């Protein structure tokens, strides 16, 4: 995919030291993609119910909300920010969806309204981070609790069901002739758009620059605050839309919908090789990360692996994904020093 | 860099909302066509033999919950009796949607029956209907799914039986004579109020003429408050003979107060409790008898119902009967419900056989 962190200052010697081809191979997003292929091939060969159209459409459908929210989350993490309130925005929008639907509102009115609420939620996050200069981790832990609380105010512990079949179908049915459910198809389209923004536009380069060195980016004329504010708003909008998808897909609007989903999203983004400190990562890696988490979980479930073991496998994978690039970087660094200390060949 | 016209975007969105507000899909415009549920098909043949090697899967609200583990393990043991293979799978959290991916997996694995304690009656509906359309028998137990999304529901207890039997147990304990009080959960707890309604009705019968219900106290399912309420009851009515606490929190708190007071041995405490929390009080003589449905039997009955469905003996219609091993013949009631039966009474003689 596109080059990593163009704004990252790196000694030219380091680049020269490692052969370019090899450097590409040890990049984490490439490793994740390879792992994904291994898991898929292993599943297809070893488990007869895995590579069926039915099962894949279930597995992809299950990933819909995580995948959608992972896109703006990637942009945020690349810019060295994070939004932990996404699952609560999803829950709040699900609760609102149920309450308004019960009150007799039209679904065509409810969904745009939810998106507006999501934008508002994102705006609050963004303003607190950019205008007051608060760390996004702290701000969004706060709004995570706040928005979830509002969700319970809206719907309490009730559940609203019986949504119209044609809309429920849109959330569940697959694109004709493929095992891809509509929400996941939307993810594919949005992923391509996000990849273009991140890797082929000025805005994308600005994100990497902000993530690598915010102050330098600011002095280079990048409108850091405005861009971050925009990212939070987009994150809120996507989370709100995911709330609508979630509600229709499960056919049940509840205030506790999607609890803990934010961690699954961040796990997928990190597994995809995006550096939590910002400035580094590729969207292709995140897409592979999302798919790897989803398909691995599905495969383990099909093989009746206990829930605890499933969490252990995902957890270990995540630690390895954060650790490996750092170890590789250390090794490279050490090699460079080693070479540097050798007497120059005459 | 150009300013993103945030205000303009917001305005456009508001306009879009306004424009779409007139007309559209609302709750009232939706015809109720949910009645067309998938059924696992065919007519019932009560004489059909139980199929061999049936694959049953228990999907509890969450795994590693001690209560659900007892239910499921008893069900798995039950399945062995008729030559079936049962397993328990499930999520580690009891959220509404966490069971869905497990359901999908079980459908893929072509289980013969899925037994589910639904976390949300509607969220599980889609996949359950899909399972039924693929001739997978669906049995809800412990916590029901929406009616049209399962074949039968194994109900652990009928409210009437619980209410009436608690009066009967108390009457036996105090010899049919004296003042009693009820220590309930909250004043508006649905379950408790239904049970108390049946208790009051049962007390009207002539055989209980010597018993007088003096007060219903509310401990709000809070240990401390239930403890204080017990104390208050005994101060207000020093000649009280018994306390019925139809809540596991209440009965434990009442027993704890009585066991450490001068009333031990003169005041009977009974109601609904779990053997693990009541063992101590049964052994030290504070509590002679209490009740709860037997979770093992619940899983066992669910297992047999699943086998009967998967073998075509029943379809889930009212009035059909099936044999449930050591529990004998069972009849399907209204709305596809099978009631487990009267609650189990625990006392000194059997309490050590139960651990939950």
Return the residue of B nearest to A53 by Cα: B108
Give me the number of domains chain B comprises: 2
User: Nearest Cβ partner of B23 from A106, A159, A308?
Assistant: A106
User: Does residue A258 lie in a domain region?
Assistant: yes
Are residues B216 and B300 both part of a single domain?
A: no
pLDDT at A266 over 50: yes
Distance from CA of B25 to the nearest CA of A (A): 5
User: Does residue A317 lie in a domain region?
Assistant: no
User: Does residue B16 lie in a domain region?
Assistant: no
User: Does residue A181 lie in a domain region?
Assistant: yes
Q: For chain A, what's the residue count?
A: 346
By three-state DSSP, how is residue B87 classified? strand
* Cα dist from A292 to A251, A314, A317, B79, whole Å: 26, 10, 10, 36
Return the residue of B nearest to A221 by Cα: B1
Provide the residue range defining the domain that includes A231: 65-280
Residues 269-328 of A with CB under 8 A from B: 297-298, 301-302, 304, 306-308, 311
Cβ–Cβ gap A297/B101 under 8 Å: yes
Q: Write down the H helix ranges in chain B.
A: 6-21, 66-81, 100-108, 125-133, 159-174, 190-203, 223-236, 248-259, 275-283, 295-310
pLDDT at B347 over 60: yes
* Cα dist from B125 to A161, A218, A249, B21, B132, whole Å: 10, 52, 11, 30, 10
Are residues B191 and B246 both part of a single domain?
A: yes
Query: Measuring CA to CA, which residue among B158, B159, B170, B142 is closest to residue B345?
Result: B170
Q: Are A68 and A62 in contact (CB under 8 A)?
A: no
Cβ–Cβ gap B10/A107 under 8 Å: no
Cβ–Cβ gap B146/A259 under 8 Å: no
pLDDT at A69 over 60: yes
pLDDT mean over B114-120? 93
Are residues B270 and B311 both part of a single domain?
A: no
User: Does residue A187 lie in a domain region?
Assistant: yes
Q: What is the pLDDT of residues B149-200, one digit of tens each?
A: 999 999 988 888 899 999 999 999 999 999 999 999 888 777 888 899 999 9
Q: Are B317 and B334 in contact (CB under 8 A)?
A: no
- On chain A, the residues whose CB falls within 8 A of the CB of B20 are 106, 108-109, 112
Provide the residue range defining the domain that includes B314: 55-156+295-341
User: Does residue B130 lie in a domain region?
Assistant: yes
A240 shares contact with chain B (CB less than 8 Å)? no
Q: What is the pLDDT of residues B213-271, one digit of tens each?
A: 999 999 988 899 999 999 999 999 999 999 999 998 999 999 999 999 999 999 999 99
Residue spans of beta strands (DSSP E) within B83-163 = 85-88, 113-116, 137-141, 152-155
pLDDT mean over B108-129? 92
Q: Residue A253 and residue A91: Cα distance in Å, rounded?
A: 8
User: Does residue A41 lie in a domain region?
Assistant: no
User: Nearest Cβ partner of A251 from B91, B92, B126?
Assistant: B126
pLDDT at A1 over 90: no
- On chain B, the residues whose CB falls within 8 A of the CB of A162 are 27, 30, 32, 34, 122
- On chain B, the residues whose CB falls within 8 A of the CB of A258 are 97
User: Does residue A38 lie in a domain region?
Assistant: no
Q: What is the CATH number of the domain that holds B287?
A: 3.40.50.2300
Are residues B273 and B323 both part of a single domain?
A: no
Confidence of residue A21 (pLDDT cuts 50, 70, 90): low
Query: Which of A61, A250, A303 to mutate against chain B (most B CBs within 10 Å)?
Result: A250
- On chain B, the residues whose CB falls within 8 A of the CB of A115 are 13
Cβ–Cβ gap B25/A54 under 8 Å: no
Distance from CA of A324 to the nearest CA of B (A): 29
User: Which residue, of B254, B269, B292, is where some domain finishes?
Assistant: B292
Are residues B249 and B334 both part of a single domain?
A: no
Q: Are B214 and B242 in contact (CB under 8 A)?
A: no
Angle CA(B111)–CA(B115)–CA(B120) in degrees, nearest 5?
120
Cβ–Cβ gap B92/A311 under 8 Å: yes
Are residues B202 and B144 both part of a single domain?
A: no
Confidence of residue A20 (pLDDT cuts 50, 70, 90): low
User: Nearest Cβ partner of B104 from A58, A112, A304?
Assistant: A58
Query: Facing residues of A70 across strands?
Result: none
Q: Residue A91 and residue A157: Cα distance in Å, rounded?
A: 12
User: Does residue B11 lie in a domain region?
Assistant: no
Which residue is it, tokens 């919908």? A257
User: Nearest Cβ partner of B34 from A162, A166, A167?
Assistant: A162
Distance from CA of A307 to the nearest CA of B (A): 6
* Token duo for residue B5: 């016209």
User: Does residue B40 lie in a domain region?
Assistant: no
Phi, psi of B42 (to 5 degrees): 60, 175
Are residues B149 and B209 both part of a single domain?
A: no
pLDDT at B39 over 80: no
Are residues B337 and B284 both part of a single domain?
A: no
Are residues B150 and B233 both part of a single domain?
A: no
User: Does residue A12 lie in a domain region?
Assistant: no
The distance in angstroms from the start CA to the end CA of chain B is 66
Return the residue of B nearest to A255 by Cα: B96
Give me the number of domains chain A comprises: 1
Cβ–Cβ gap B125/A251 under 8 Å: yes
Are residues B237 and B249 both part of a single domain?
A: yes
By three-state DSSP, how is residue B237 classified? coil
Question: Which ipTM did the prediction report?
Answer: 0.74
pLDDT value, residue A308: 87
User: Nearest Cβ partner of A302 from B3, B27, B109?
Assistant: B109
pLDDT at A243 over 90: yes
Are residues B309 and B288 both part of a single domain?
A: no
Q: What is the pLDDT of residues A194-214, one digit of tens each?
A: 999 999 999 999 999 999 999
Return the residue of B nearest to A223 by Cα: B1
Are residues B165 and B275 both part of a single domain?
A: yes
User: Does residue A120 lie in a domain region?
Assistant: yes
Q: Which of A261-275, B55-69, B291-305 has the lowest average pLDDT?
A: B55-69
Query: Measuring CA to CA, which residue among A202, A233, A205 is closest to residue A115?
Result: A233
């Amino acid at each position: 995919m596109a080059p990593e962190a163009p704004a990252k200052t790196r000694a030219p010697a380091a680049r020269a030291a490692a052969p370019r081809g090899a450097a590409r191979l040890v990049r984490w997003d490439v490793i994740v993609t390879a792992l994904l292929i291994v898991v898929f091939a292993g599943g297809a060969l070893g488990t007869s119910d895995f590579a069926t159209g039915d099962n894949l459409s279930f597995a992809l459908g299950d990933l819909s909300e995580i995948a959608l929210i992972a896109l703006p989350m990637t942009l945020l993490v690349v810019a060295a920010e994070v939004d932990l309130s996404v699952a609560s925005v999803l829950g709040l929008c699900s609760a609102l969806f149920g309450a308004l639907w019960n009150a007799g509102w039209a679904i065509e009115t409810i969904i745009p309204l939810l998106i507006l609420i999501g934008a508002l939620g994102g705006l609050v996050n963004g303003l607190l981070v950019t205008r007051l200069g608060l760390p996004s981790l702290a701000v969004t832990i706060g709004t995570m609790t706040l928005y979830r609380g509002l969700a319970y105010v809206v719907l309490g512990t009730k559940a609203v069901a019986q949504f119209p079949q044609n809309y429920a179908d849109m959330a569940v049915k697959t694109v004709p002739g493929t095992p891809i459910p509509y929400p996941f198809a939307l993810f594919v389209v949005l992923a391509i758009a996000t990849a273009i923004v991140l890797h082929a536009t000025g805005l994308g380069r600005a994100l990497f620059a902000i993530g690598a060195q915010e102050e330098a980016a600011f002095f280079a004329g990048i409108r850091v605050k405005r861009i971050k504010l925009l990212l939070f708003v987009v994150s809120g909008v996507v989370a709100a839309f995911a709330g609508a998808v979630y509600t229709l897909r499960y056919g049940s609007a509840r205030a506790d919908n999607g609890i803990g989903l934010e961690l699954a999203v961040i796990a997928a983004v990190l597994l995809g090789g995006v550096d939590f400190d910002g400035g580094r990562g590729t969207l292709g890696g995140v897409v592979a990360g999302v798919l790897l988490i989803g398909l691995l979980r599905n495969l383990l479930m099909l093989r009746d692996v206990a829930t605890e073991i499933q969490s252990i496998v995902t957890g270990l994978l995540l630690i390895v994904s954060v650790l490996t690039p750092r170890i590789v970087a250390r090794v490279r660094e050490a090699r460079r020093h080693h070479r540097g200390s050798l007497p120059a060949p005459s | 860099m150009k300013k993103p016209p945030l205000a303009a975007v917001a305005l456009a969105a508001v306009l879009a909302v306004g424009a779409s507000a007139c007309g559209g899909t609302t709750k009232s415009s939706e015809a109720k066509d949910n009645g067309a549920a998938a059924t696992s098909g065919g007519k019932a043949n009560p004489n059909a033999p139980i199929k061999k090697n049936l694959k049953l899967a228990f999907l509890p609200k969450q795994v590693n919950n001690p209560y659900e583990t007892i239910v499921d393990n008893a069900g798995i043991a039950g399945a062995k009796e008729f030559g079936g293979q049962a397993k328990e799978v499930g999520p580690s959290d009891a959220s509404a949607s966490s069971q869905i991916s497990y359901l999908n997996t079980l459908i893929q694995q072509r289980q013969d029956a899925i037994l589910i304690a639904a976390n949300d009656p509607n969220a599980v509906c889609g996949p359950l209907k899909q399972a039924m359309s693929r001739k997978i028998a669906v049995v809800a137990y412990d916590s029901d799914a929406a009616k049209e999304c399962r074949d039968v529901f194994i109900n652990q207890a009928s409210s009437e039986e619980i209410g009436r039997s608690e009066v009967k147990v108390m009457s036996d304990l105090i010899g049919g004579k004296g003042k009693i009080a009820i220590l309930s959960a909250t004043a508006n707890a649905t379950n408790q109020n239904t049970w108390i309604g049946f208790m009051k009705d049962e007390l009207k019968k002539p055989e209980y003429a010597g018993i007088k219900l003096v007060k219903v106290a509310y401990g709000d399912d809070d240990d401390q408050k239930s403890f204080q309420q017990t104390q208050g009851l005994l101060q207000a009515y020093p000649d009280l003979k018994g306390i019925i606490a139809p809540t596991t929190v209440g009965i434990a708190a009442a027993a704890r107060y009585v066991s450490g007071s001068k009333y031990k041995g003169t005041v009977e405490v009974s109601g609904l409790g779990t053997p693990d929390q009541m063992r101590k009080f049964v052994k030290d003589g504070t509590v002679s008898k209490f009740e709860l449905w037997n979770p093992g039997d619940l899983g066992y009955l669910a297992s047999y119902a699943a086998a009967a469905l998967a073998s075509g003996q029943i379809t889930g219609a009212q009035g059909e009967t099936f044999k449930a091993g050591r529990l004998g013949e069972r009849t399907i009631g209204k709305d596809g419900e099978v009631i487990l039966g009267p609650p189990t009474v625990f006392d000194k003689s059997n309490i050590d056989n139960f651990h939950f």
